[in-house]
Amino acid sequence: MHLDKEALDAHESRWRAQLINAVAGFKPVNLIGTIDDQGRTNLAIITSVVHLGANPPLLGMVIRPSPKGVERHTLNNILDTGAFSVNAVTEDMVPQAHQTSARYSGETSEFEATGLTPRWIDGRREPFVAESPLQIGLSLLEHLPLKHNGTHFIIGNIDCIDIPDNAVADDGTVDLGALRLVTACGLDTYHSVGSGTRFAYAKPDQPPRPI
């Protein structure tokens, strides 16, 4: 089907939300760990983390506060404390990770509600997810409110990474498949991932070559 602006607008908003959330392709699935000034922890599933650069090591992510303002905990905590964790989600963690998207009040920590275990690292404020094999600690570097739809683009500096030795090859490449991480499609679907094929650095005078 070919959908132009008119055809898209003709569909009701939930249909459009499902479609538009899926068309960018498969997304990374991460849990964002934060804490507020009263020491209350928060955990939120986010599928918009994006690589920004390796030197300095930066990640970005999009946060979309709900229209009613009830899901601003993650954003507020990051702005208040300047720290957050990014924790990769494995196949086993999917039900609990998805459950963090329920609209718990500020009094309820998603750690308690889902049974995921907070892990603390000396010298850092934000909670990590003990069950996750890939945990990243970040400091807030920049906050860009996007004027067109009220979303926020957060840029974080990577301060530390926990990852199993056997997932990192001698040249620094990572086998996310070995960690059994999932990928997401749209608002609510999680996919397991098959084995990967690596390609040699592409050159104009050579054909593509798997290695």
Q: Which of residues 168-207 bind a second copy (CB under 8 A)?
A: 168, 171-177, 181-183, 185-204, 206-207
Tokens found for residue 125? 């404020």
Smallest separation (angstroms) from a second copy to the CB of 150: 8
Task: Answer for the pair 149, 171: CB distance below 8 angstroms, yes or no.
Answer: no
Tokens found for residue 104? 């718990």
The span of 36-44, 76-84, 160-168 binding a second copy (CB under 8 A) equals 160-168
Q: Name the 3-class secondary structure at 17.
A: helix
- Considering only residues 119 to 158 of the shown chain, the ones binding a second copy according to CB under 8 A are 134, 136, 141-142, 144, 146-149, 151, 153, 155, 158
Smallest separation (angstroms) from a second copy to the CB of 146: 7
Please pick, from the candidates 41, 48, 76, 81, the single residue that binds a second copy as defined by CB under 8 A.
48
Q: Tokens 């999680």 map to which residue?
A: 190
Tokens found for residue 100? 């963090």
Smallest separation (angstroms) from a second copy to the CB of 77: 19
